[in-house]
Structure 1
Amino acid sequence: MPNPTDLTVRQKSRVLEIAFDDGSAFSIPFELMRVYSPSAEVKGHGPGQEVLQVGKREVGITGLEPVGNYAVKPLFNDGHESGIFTWDYLYKLGSEQDAMWKAYVARLHAAGFDGDSGREPGTELPGAKPNKGCGHSH
């Protein structure tokens, strides 16, 4: 897997910008990182134990702690600090974020949230293209 060459926390736009040595670069929204945190608090301790994260659209990152030479631990402003994001996992979040957003929205719908209400009413997913729906009829 590629290794990061640059890592920048953008507070105003709420994204983590990360560039890798294979030439790829991603802007990963804090919200995506928070709802897909690899922590036991979010993932549970086995399949089917995942905890759906809602209302995280405005989440911020107050710090980013290095974990060895293989990961970082974001300190989210909602108190969540237990997720360790490996370089491989950040690469996955960046390269698969469109599919991951769709899966997240589908889980919100399945849990009974109307539209993006689990995020906040009337908000678009970060990086959403104008006139491009999420594939769900509202």
Structure 2
Amino acid sequence: MSTEIVQLVEQAGPYLSAAVGAYGAAVLSRAEDAAVDAAADATAGLGRRILRAVWHRRDEEGRAVLETAVREAAQEPDDADAAGALRQQIKRALREDRELAREVAAFLPASGGLTVNVSGARAIGAQHIGIAVSGDHATLNPPQP
């Protein structure tokens, strides 16, 4: 189950980051609000569902540790260590509660194990690609026989 948990947390990572970015530290404490969730993008909403499911299944000490990780990730959105600490808390919770792991897995879309993250101007993301050009004044020459 350990490898499955690692893969699950890796798949959930972008959703968690989006939720923390959209909702900040309030992602855990704010009551469910359909209007707010509808306004947030689907990625952030799914991340919020994951975080709240984990938070609800933790004891008082586990909740405090998760809250700290979420707050630090929200305060330092570009800090890979803060994001890693949050993922570590999620991973720990999923390892300790197999039912929670199944619940979180059910939230996530089936991806076949592939995640492609693309960011930045002219970025290209694809599972299979032949020729891709991203730039100004590019010239493509057909292959020579």
TM-score between both structures, scaled by the size of structure 2 = 0.30
Decide which structure has greater helix share.
Answer: 2
Q: Highest Rg: 1 or 2? A: 2
Q: Tell me which of the two structures has the higher relative contact order, counting C-alpha pairs closer than 8 angstroms and 6 or more residues apart.
A: 2
TM-score between both structures, scaled by the size of structure 1 = 0.31
Decide which structure has greater strand share.
Answer: 1
